[in-house]
Amino acid sequence: MAAKYNEDSIKSLDWHEHIRLRPGMYIGKLGDGQSPDDGIYVLAKEIIDNSIDEYVMGAGKKIEIEIEDRSVRIRDYGRGIPLGKVVDCVSKINTGGKYDSEAFQKSVGLNGVGTKAVNALSESFIVQSFRDGRCKKAEFCRGILVKEYKEAATSEKNGTEIVFNPDPEIFKNYRYLPAYMDEKIWNYAYLNTGLTLIMNGKPYSSSNGLLDLLQKRVDENIRYDVIHFKDKDIEVAFTHGNQYGEHYYSFVNGQHTTQGGTHQAAFREGIVKGARDHFKKDLDPADIRNCIIGAISIRIQEPVFESQTKTKLGSTSTAPNGPALRSWIVDFVSKEFDNYLFKNPDTEKKLLDRITQNERERKEIAGIKKLANERAKKANLHNKKLRDCKVHLTEVKSPLHQETMIFITEGDSASGSITKARNVQTQAVFSLRGKPLNSFGQTKKVVYENEEFNLLQHALDIENGLENLRYNKVIIATDADVDGMHIRLLLMTFFLQFFPELVEQKHLYILQTPLFRVRNKKETIYCYDEDERNKASTSLGKDGLEITRFKGLGEISPSEFGQFIGEDMRLESVMMPPDASLGKMLEYYMGKNSPTRQDHIVTNLRAEAVEEL
């Protein structure tokens, strides 16, 4: 019998009810703050973006950001929301000042939704606007107006202040991680020279834009000085280093497009064309781009992104009925690059040396690569290293791809527990045999000569870049002891050395599993550190209390493991600090032993010992 369907079946939701019912449509995934693209960071970004737009329009040169526990405060010194529209601008969908193309031609947010989403998804949301000696204030709870204050006199400088607390009903056990916010604030500074952002008392500013960004990311071993071009609505910077792969930082209207898009593809194409035009040779694109580190920032009208979180640009033109985006970028980059090389013969020679070295290495491993690929195909038929998930995707743009993940673990007991507990639809397991090789300083030959690395590379399908990456999350799952930490470090070194894009695009994670199980006859609590263990012990009392210390993943039964890799899974994203050089960091931790590293380890061990005492 068909379900009843009449006029009563049709319902209309208020704006805040729809946002709360389908938050993923507005801010992407929710998360708890362990991943840099979790919703709580999107909430902060939406408010900061509005303040940045004020600066771009020439209003205010300072933005204050305070993040304490679960509260966020953002104060800009722009023009301030018109006092009579303060409530409407934060609580009426499709209401805002960004529809006037003359006022906000190249803004990130054009749909009037961002601030409203923050309001609807916050337990507390307070907005104040200061304009010409007058102030207007309003308070909301989960998108509903709680109190509207009358206009009043103020001595505050013009601007807008918003204070909000993300709703714990939506964001479970969340917390803001300083490293993620630090990277985001630095990016704002690089893209807005002359602006000062102050987060929790720390100032962020840049005088040279993307040149500053790259100079913080490279070390003294780069092949030539960073090349930097800037024109109206476009800025690029790039150089070649010694790490394999291609490293890009791309931005559209101030938005960090971590997944790239049409502008990043055109940037890569422009570099190849510029080199080919200059050297008048049909050079292989891979030889030109291997080991490159680059950044591009563009500003265009009404950008089209592939999702609400704006991580990948889909635009094909610079504006409605405007010139093609691809040809504009390719022409600019290739011409400027060709001219630069003509004027700088020293850079010209060093670049050609790098391209020639890349070509030589590519040809050297061609034979080894063919044999390794055949070996990998044969091994996949017989070994049990990879226990794949049922979602086999050839089209990585599919929404299902966002749910896929692979756990890389070591040992039969650990891989056995995860395999039995996993969701076979979306979770795969790759089992290592012993500790991986320390790949620091090795050439890419080692990836094909080492059976473990070769099979892992094929399991992920990243031999030719991330376009065919088979899993959205690559998760290192090792024991929380010294050996497990060492394996974790060796795997991170492998990915950073040969596939740094995996880290830069936020695909690499560490699985956090509980260290303790505290239980009595009525209740069981799993604890991830000593503090949680002590709190659980106090909560459950002494009668019949049992405390178990898990020595390894294999000691956690499959029935228990299921909850640690389910909806409440704790993941820590592997990311580079915004002011760190990849080469220097790998040399420090994985190079030859040095007194400096020994002092660092001893100092930190002593600090931990003091804390335990």
| 338-350 confidence digits (pLDDT tens) | 999 999 999 999 9
Q: Which of 275-289, 343-357, 434-448, 586-600 has the lowest mean pLDDT?
A: 586-600
Residues 6 or more apart from 166 whose CB is under 8 A from it? 39, 40, 43, 70, 72, 121, 122, 123, 174
* pLDDT at residue 346, rounded to an integer: 96
Cβ atoms 427, 405 nearer than 8 A: yes
* pLDDT at residue 1, rounded to an integer: 52
Here the tokens at position 74 are: 């953002």
* pLDDT at residue 263, rounded to an integer: 94
CATH number, domain 16-204: 3.30.565.10
* pLDDT at residue 399, rounded to an integer: 61
Q: Which fold has domain 210-364?
A: Ribosomal Protein S5; domain 2 (3.30.230)
* pLDDT at residue 601, rounded to an integer: 52
Q: Is pLDDT larger for residue 344 or for residue 301?
A: 344
pLDDT digits (tens, 9 = 90+) for 454-482: 999 989 999 888 888 899 899 999 887 78
Q: Using the predicted structure, report yes or no on whether residue 317 has a pLDDT greater than 90.
A: no
Strand-pairing partners, residue 475, are 407, 509
* Helix, strand, coil in percent for the chain, rounding step 5: 40, 20, 40
The pLDDT > 70 percentage for the chain reads 86
Here the tokens at position 295 are: 């950044």
* pLDDT at residue 227, rounded to an integer: 97
The segment(s) of the chain belonging to CATH 3.30.565.10 are: 16-204
Q: Distance between CA atoms of 465 and 281, rounded to whole angstroms? A: 24
Cβ atoms 29, 472 nearer than 8 A: no
The segment(s) of the chain belonging to CATH 3.40.50.670 are: 366-513+559-580
- Residues 269-296, mean pLDDT to the nearest whole number: 95
For residue 101, the SS3 value is coil
Cβ atoms 179, 173 nearer than 8 A: no
Here the tokens at position 333 are: 């980059």
Q: Which of 351-355, 399-403, 415-419 has the lowest mean pLDDT?
A: 399-403
* pLDDT at residue 220, rounded to an integer: 72
Q: Is pLDDT larger for residue 416 or for residue 74?
A: 74
User: Given phi > 0 = left and psi -120 to 50 = alpha, else beta, which region is 280?
Assistant: left
Q: Using the predicted structure, report yes or no on whether residue 228 has a pLDDT greater than 90.
A: yes
Residues 6 or more apart from 567 whose CB is under 8 A from it? none
Taking the mean position of all CA atoms in its chain, how far away is CA 177? 13
In the chain, how long is the greatest CA-to-CA distance?
A: 82
Q: What angle do CA 287, 293, 298 make, to 5 degrees?
A: 115
Q: Using the predicted structure, report yes or no on whether residue 273 has a pLDDT greater than 50.
A: yes
Q: Using the predicted structure, report yes or no on whether residue 510 has a pLDDT greater than 60.
A: yes
Q: Which fold has domain 366-513+559-580?
A: Rossmann fold (3.40.50)
- Residues 526-537, mean pLDDT to the nearest whole number: 89
Segment holding 595, helix H or strand E: helix 595-612
Q: Distance between CA atoms of 326 and 150, rounded to whole angstroms? A: 51
- Report the predicted TM-score, pTM, of the whole model to 2 decimal places: 0.80
* pLDDT at residue 395, rounded to an integer: 47
Looking at every residue in the chain, the average pLDDT score rounds to: 85
* pLDDT at residue 74, rounded to an integer: 97
Q: Distance between CA atoms of 403 and 426, rounded to whole angstroms? A: 6
